[in-house]
Structure 1
């Protein structure tokens, strides 16, 4: 497996801060068209969506258990079921790469999810990167985000503005959610310690520090994958 992928995270190597910024790898075809809700889903079999996984042996037992706990958390609230990869062609491969990142939606074949053992092994980060692999983008790039957040480009590190570009998303009838595990912090990619994102309704609101999936995160997974209530 080629582990030469460049670091897609601003904070590579920090042991204290979950590395969840700029973390979506380009698709294997290098196609710039964003993954859509209809073209990137994992297949459903009966009532469940079975997704094979393989976890690198380079992780310690404790590190491995953090990843497993993050995966199993989807089982209790959605119809996603992670299973060990045997001879499956399409599967998620978790390894300690250069930062925390994932592809967006199902790619086919070996699909890497990088969770660096120094900086990425947090419950929320596992859920965040797995949610990308399920097809979900960051909350603050939602098509309706301009009604809820203000982007402050003057505070963004030059060259990182693309992380704040709004895209056409299928919001699945769910509201904008500052508590989503997919939301950036208000200081993401700041060049000067000033906010790059502000809540329009409450500029002093702090956000982007979820420790686990919100009710809306769960609802979106269930709607996208047709999970029974």
Structure 2
């Protein structure tokens, strides 16, 4: 990597460091995470649920964090091994986008990403067909797709990593009906499953329209009319977050006991 200034996040458990470059934003994230993901995944043939989650045949993903798909905690930290596929990036700047997005978790949570060596369970970032992830820790190496020329943004990396840590989309959380209305008449036929409510653990945090995990008002619309509207303000705009919100961070810390 060649940027002018570097910092190292040294991880005492593995004696390795993620060396991340502090660089200016080199890409345009004006659409926000959810809109970017919807756009990139629109023509994907990958079987996905809720827009960008890979279904599993062996377990019910939600609430999987209660039955074994959390990443283990060692001392004060949760170490998550990672690898980056050679086909994912073509330049140091593209690689830096992924690394810098991972390091944002280090600044505000007890999650610590380390380079995968002999670890059995790890996240493997690669350039697949679209942006997608599994929900929660799986067994062995699990894929996180960040399609080149589409998904390499801080917001989308954070979004997919939050899925891998066990978090679902905001608008399908268990109490969503108190906060939004789903306008099924405007949803593209066959895409209704992306709005199915799930039994999430909300960890005592409020519904968050600013979450990087929230869909936009027009997601999966067949007629350019809203598919999701806020009950408090039908004209409220949302789903265009560029980074994790304070509530996103609080949920990570509460689920993984970062303050314990």
| Pair in the same fold by TM > 0.5 | yes
In structure 2, the partner of 1:51 is: 80
- Could you say what secondary structure the match of 1:76 adopts? helix
Question: Greater strand percent: which structure?
Answer: 2
Counterpart contact for 2:41–2:51, Cα < 8 Å = no
- TM-score by structure 2 length? 0.79
Can you give the 5+ residue segments of structure 1 that lack an aligned partner in the other structure? 1-8, 15-20
- Could you say what secondary structure the match of 1:72 adopts? helix
Post-superposition Cα deviations, 1:210-229, rounded to whole Å, max 9, x if no partner, equal 00000000000000000017
State the distance in 1 between where 2:229 and 2:41 align.
27
- Could you say what secondary structure the match of 1:73 adopts? helix
Structure number with greater Rg is 2
Which of 90, 93, 96 aligns to 2:124? It is 93
Within-5 A mapping of 1:1-150: 10-12=38-40, 22-27=51-56, 29-32=57-60, 34-39=62-67, 40-58=69-87, 59-60=89-90, 61-150=92-181
Once the two structures are TM-superposed, the CA of residue 200 in structure 1 deviates from its matched residue by: 0.4
Q: Aligned residue pairs: how many?
A: 214
1:218 matched to 2:249: yes
Which consecutive segments of 4 or more residues in structure 1 shift more than 6 A? none
Post-superposition Cα deviations, 1:147-201, rounded to whole Å, max 9, x if no partner, equal 1000000110000101101111110000000000000001100111111000000
Once the two structures are TM-superposed, the CA of residue 62 in structure 1 deviates from its matched residue by: 1.4
Counterpart contact for 1:90–1:110, Cα < 8 Å = yes
Counterpart contact for 1:152–1:195, Cα < 8 Å = yes
Once the two structures are TM-superposed, the CA of residue 11 in structure 1 deviates from its matched residue by: 2.6
1:194 matched to 2:222: no
State the distance in 1 between where 2:144 and 2:243 align.
18
Question: Greater helix percent: which structure?
Answer: 2
Within-5 A mapping of 1:203-214: 203-214=234-245
- Could you say what secondary structure the match of 2:79 adopts? strand
Counterpart contact for 1:35–1:104, Cα < 8 Å = no
**Deviation larger for 102-111 or 52-61:** 52-61
- TM-score by structure 1 length? 0.90
State the distance in 2 between where 1:30 and 1:158 align.
28
RMSD: 1.5
